[in-house]
Structure 1
Amino acid sequence: MTLFDFGVFPTQTFHLLAATEGTMWHSLADILILLATAIVLGTLAEQLRQSAILGYIAAGTLVGPNLLGWVADRQSIFDLAELGVALLLFAIGLEFSLPRLKRLGRIPLVAGILQIILTLLGGLSVSLLLSFSFPEALAIGAMIALSSTACVVRMLNDRAELDAPHGRTALGILLVQDMAVIPLMLIITALVGKGSAGEIAIQLSISFLLAVVFVAVFYGLFNFILPRLLELSSLRRNRDFPILLAMVMAAGSAWAAHRLGLSPALGAFVAGVLLAISPFATQIRADVQPLKTVLVTLFFSAVGMFGDLNWAVQHLGLVLAVVAAIITGKLLITFGAAWFCGQPWQFALGTGLCLAQVGEFSFVLATVARGTADAPGILSETTFRLIISSTIATLLLTPYLIQLAPVAANLLRQLWDRQPAENESRSPHVDVTDLESSRETNDDLVLILGFGPAGQRVAGELLQVGLKKIVVVDLNHENLRMAEQYGLRSQLGDATQIEVLEHAGLYRSRLVIMTLPSPTVCRQIIYLVRQMSPATTLYVRCRYHLHHWQLLAAGADVIVDEEEHVGECLAKHILDSPLLLQQLLKSNQKPEAGQSPDQT
């Protein structure tokens, strides 16, 4: 017997409580299963010193419809996870201001166009030799031509190689590939029978005009309207508003690009680049970081769901042959295109290794080319499974290929050095260690977190003794303007967020000075600094003596206790006043009642 049998909890009550039962909760369950499995396998991959991306993809394959079947609706999850790619590109775009984007030069643009054309023609030719029909061969070439923006950018960013020569070229080529998604999609749609050549030309012209409109609108929004919004006092007082605004800008730019028929990821990147010139870029990137992390993880898990492990094992030889052909062909084509455009061969090799995989947008092209049960497309079921399996395999190999770039470039340089000296004039020697990182090596940076009166006094004293490599981090616009008057680099941001500290240069700093009044905020920052840069020295302001030992236990090296300091200063001022001190001493030497002056 239960309480329901006695009528204590009527069943109708629980039907009312379950009124929100719907597909959303089923989708949420699928997402939770994917993320939980991704945490487990991603952690296992990290323990084995592999990329967590491998664990995320393996998680999707494990719980997907082709293995355990715990999560079946892969398409809806993949659609949601595409927003993660857009947020990733938006955050990367915030690092690339327009001047910095111009510094990429013509090499990525020309090399990207050459890489797409040559890879498409190569895939088409090989497929025709293998007796595929022309439409199917063209679809295969289009899918192979694209590389993985999400995987490559994530890996390069984690390895701090995004600004290295091969990283910049790889990013530029990926952006060209993202732009090529639209014409490739239109071509495959026409091959399936849903459009003609004239309609494709019209759609391309409309897409170009809409892209110009998109850039113009967002340029005006981010340069004239947004700065006034972010300077409102209500936004400065309540941290919720800037976070919400950041999410609206990041997701809104992707949605606007999608509605205009453009690539959402490319649209988000362009919006990020346009926003990068504002002082709010670092804080906005930090605000979108949590959702970006969740959705990017979900994206790689959704990619893994497309894999059919049983089919891949049954056709293992065929899959391995296709994977080897794709990696070798794309490596050689990308290397040749980058080298032909003037990039030194060491960096061209690194670029080729970074892009020697098939990208996430190939899943979209493959789905369109496959068609539906009611309206079959140009791609057979066997070819579809082969492309999907090969794509996932290349994505799994991508972290190793990117890690291999410096080693392979060293080996190639050693072989090159054995050639006659006249060959050196064609390809000048470049130190391959530049491939590993392009970060600054000096470690004399001083970070001042908080630039109120205390921070300004500290900066003034440091400037007087010749310390000029100072970066100020503050959320108050007026304080940042004051820092600029001091001639210091300043950054708008919340120092309790890792992204803000990284961008400010924590890894290159020798000293961090915290003048913030809140002990809770100071403890959070101390934990972050100790986690990210243990060797950095921490000087921390302590407003009340009560919190002195808490900050010391958190990891601060030097505590400036305001109450102790005030006491010391007051005592010093008293001791430095001879007249007052003499009067006090005389008053203390007066005889007590019942004593004679001689006894005193």
Structure 2
Amino acid sequence: MPHDVSLITTIAVGLGLALIFGFLCARLKIPALVGYLLAGMVIGPATPGFVADVHLAGQLAEIGVMLLMFGVGLHFSLDDLLAVRKIALPGAVVQITVATLLGMGVAMAWGWSLGGALVFGLSLSCASTVVLLRALETRGVLESLNGRIAVGWLIVEDLAMVLVLVLLPALAPMLGGTAPAQGGGADLWWTLLRTLGQVAVFVVLMLAVGRRLFPWLLWQVARTGSRELFTLCVIAAALGIAYGSAKLFGVSFALGAFFAGMVMRESDLSHRAAEESLPLRDAFSVLFFVSVGMLFDPRVLVEQPLQVAVVVLIIMVGKTLAAFGLVLLFRYPLNTALTVSASLAQIGEFSFILAGMGVALELLPKEGQSLILAGALISIAFNSLVFTAIEPAQRWIRSRSSIARLLERPDDPLAELPMETDQQLLSGQVVLVGYGRVGRRIGEALTAQGVPFVVAEQNREIVEMLRAQGIPAVSGNAVEPAVLIQAHVARAAMLVIATPDAFGVRKMVEVARMLNPPIETVVRTHSEEEAVLLVNEAVGRVFMGEQELAKGMARHVLERFGRVSAAS
């Protein structure tokens, strides 16, 4: 050919084979992402035949990570992350420590150096953001409390890995690597302070300046009426901020893109921005899985099967149990503990970067990189099965009363109302399930009109805040009868379900009507299909966001034309 088309070839072959293998896996009831991984293996350097450009595939995958994290930022506010900081921050730190120690212990037993063992352990400790988000989105729980905790947990992990990647070259000489010495401890501390300072400056700039500048820019472009310019603005902002944050502040591409999405969320056009970037996010996230498959050498499964099995156990059992125990320790429900621990039962992009740097610094042996890649591939492929096992595991635990009593922590003081709660507030009241963006506004309206209500909320920090304000609140998942019982639903006049999770609505209504047959129920939903199903099942009055928005706008228009009264 007259010119090099390796980029086009990599994209065309990668996406084409991903489609074929993904389709075959879907027909066999296997997650499609397993097909994407297999497609990568077929065009990777470890298998015969055509070999795609691994370097280009890695960069394309990085774009996918950036776009995906940008999309997550568009759905998450700073308040959402701060609401889960008390569990996400200590939980991520402890879980990274546990996984690192497990990996180090195994590596030292294999005779590796301290530096190699440290890099190996750290590589096994950080989960893949792409895999996590795909799993949460597939199950429709990304915006639930469980989803926010898992995402917040991974944001802390990403920040920790950014620091590790910056500090590792400075520490390499002391750990037995061959990188040039950095001048001793003073330079090490200076590197640490500089890195923390850069990250802090980036976060402050994004929150103080970006939250005003970028929504304004998005609105100015939207005013032109050009859809292609709007899409270009969204993509340019996502990639531009991610690239600039990496080059100027030493922040990872993924973290920079996440903050870009968070500041864009302040715009009224954030939902449109999310829709416009969705096709590109999906396509490039597929290329991420293809690139992972390209890095994998199947020979390691034959040459070192025992080592591979140990690595997979650390990732899928060691990390999972550590996260499970930590979430329960913070007195969150069993379902939250299972969801968060399943989310972390895999490793991904930061693991590859860290392993590559470890080899370059001559800390990690090449076999260590192969084992990390094998562990990543296997854990990613089986992560969906781990999620599928959540409900059976939950039923099994609860069928054994002694284990359930131990894990559900019935002595939790936030799981029941204080004895001194005014009994007048617990008769004829509204039981409000969920105190997020919708629930909070309902609560404020009830408070303004003097209507008593009790909140049932999974987020313990929100429950503590409400109690400090004198509002009765109980912590727990309202799908569990005990939570509604503690909210005194048997004496309530109305049950208002304001959570975005539609899966538990039927169970909540069923429990409420069993305890209080005449109770009135009010439910929110996101889609017309869900609304029709809920109405057909007679769960009560159903409100759908788009429908209520249309009614409100239509009422305003008719009022302006004098066709309806303002009170109607």
Query: Does the pair score TM above 0.5?
Result: yes
Q: Does 1:212 align with 2:200?
A: yes
CA contact (8 A) 1:323 1:393 kept: yes
- In the alignment, the residues of structure 2 paired with residue 409 and residue 49 of structure 1 have an alpha-carbon distance, to the nearest angstrom, of 23
Are the counterparts in 1 of residues 215 and 263 from structure 2 also a CA contact under 8 Å? no
Three-state SS of the structure 1 residue aligned to 2:546 is strand
Q: Which residue of 2 aligns with 1:257?
A: 245
Give per-residue Cα distances to partners, 1:362-414, cap 9 Å, x unaligned: 1111111112xxxx611122222122212211111111112212221221222
Alignment of 1:259-408 (within 5 A): 259=247, 260-371=249-360, 377-408=362-393
Are 1:140 and 2:108 counterparts?
Answer: no
67-76 vs 149-158, which deviates more? 67-76
Per-residue Cα deviation, 1:496-539 (whole angstroms, up to 9, x for no partner): xxxxxxxxxxxxxxxxxxxxxxxxxxxxxxxxxxxxxxxxxxxx
Amino acid at match of 1:396: A
Q: Is the 8 A contact 2:161 2:350 kept in 1?
A: yes
Distance 1:62 1:177 in 2: 31
Distance 1:306 1:330 in 2: 23
Distance in 2, matches of 1:278 and 1:483, equals 23
1:239 maps to 2:227 = yes
Match of residue 445 from structure 2: none
> How far apart in 1 are the matches of 2:349 and 2:359?
16
Larger CA deviation: 123-132 vs 389-398: 123-132
Q: Partners of 2:147 and 2:321 in 1: how far apart?
A: 17
| 1:107-122 alignment, distance < 5 Å | 107-122=87-102
- State the partner residue of 1:80: 60
Cα 1:398–1:384, aligned 2, differ >3 Å: closer, same or farther?
same
SS in 2 for 1:471: helix
Q: 1:36 aligns with which of 13, 16, 31?
A: 16
State the TM-score, normalizing by the size of structure 1: 0.67
Given candidates 136, 150, 154, the residue that maps to 1:170 is 150
Distance in 1, matches of 2:344 and 2:32, equals 19
Secondary structure of 1:163 counterpart: coil
**Structure 1 residues 142 and 106 mapped into 2: Cα distance closer, same or farther (>3 Å)?**
same
Cα pair distance change 1:244/1:145, threshold 3 Å: same
* Residue 166 (structure 1) shift: 3.0
Identity between Structure 1 and Structure 2 (%): 27
Question: Contact 2:65–2:254 at 8 Å: present in 1 too?
Answer: yes
Change beyond 3 A, Cα 1:103–1:419: closer
1:438 aligns with 2:426: no
Mapped contact 2:98–2:319 kept (Cα < 8 A): no
What letter is aligned with 1:319? V
C-alpha distance 123-231 of structure 1, shift in aligned 2 (>3 A):
closer
Counting only pairs closer than 5 Å after superposition, residues 28-107 of structure 1 correspond to structure 2 as 28-107=8-87
What is the RMSD of the two structures over their aligned residues, measured on CA atoms?
Answer: 3.3
Q: Could you report, residue by residue, the CA deviation over 1:511-569 in whole angstroms, capped at 9, with x for unpaired residues? A: xxxxxxxxxxxxxxxxxxxxxxxxxxxxxxxxxxxxxxxxxxxxxxxxxxxxxxxxxxx
**Structure 2 match to 1:413:** 398
What is the distance in 1 between the residues matched to 2:286 and 2:501? 27
Higher Cα Rg, which structure: 1
- Per-residue CA deviations over 1:146-199 (Å, capped at 9, x if unaligned) read 111110111111111223343222211111111011222134323233545443
Question: Is 2:81–2:148's contact at 8 Å kept on the other side of the alignment?
Answer: no
The separation in 2 between residues aligned to 1:303 and 1:445, in whole angstroms, is: 34
| 8 A Cα contact 1:83 1:251, kept in partner | yes
1:338–1:348 contact (8 Å) kept in structure 2 = yes
Range moving further from structure 2, 92-101 or 437-446: 437-446
Determine the C-alpha separation between the residues in 1 that align with 2:396 and 2:43. 41
Match for residue 471 of structure 1 among 535, 538, 546 = 546
SS in 2 for 1:350: helix
3-state SS of 1:137 partner: helix
Measured in 2, the distance between the counterparts of 1:331 and 1:244 equals 40
Q: Which residue of 2 aligns with 1:561?
A: none
Report the Cα distance in structure 2 between the residues aligned to 1:100 and 1:432, rounded to whole angstroms. 20
Amino acid of the residue matched to residue 173 of structure 1?
A: W
Alignment of 1:169-208 (within 5 A): 169-189=149-169, 190-191=171-172, 192=177, 193-194=179-180, 195=182, 197-208=185-196
Q: Which runs of 5+ in 2 are unaligned?
A: 416-474, 481-498, 506-522, 529-540, 560-568
CA spacing shift, 1:418–1:132, aligned 2, 3 Å: closer
Aligned to 2:460: none
Cα gap change, 1:378/1:70 in structure 2, threshold over 3 Å: closer, same or farther?
A: same
Residues 221 and 233, structure 2, Cα contact 8 Å, conserved in 1: no
Is there any run of 5+ residues in structure 1 with no aligned partner, and where? 1-14, 448-465, 489-600
Structure-1 separation of matches of 2:390 and 2:94: 21
Deviation at 1:272, TM superposition (A): 1.1
Any conservation in 2 of the 1:186–1:200 contact (CA below 8 Å)? no
- State TM-score, norm by structure 2: 0.70
Which of 115, 123, 131 is 2:111 aligned to? 131
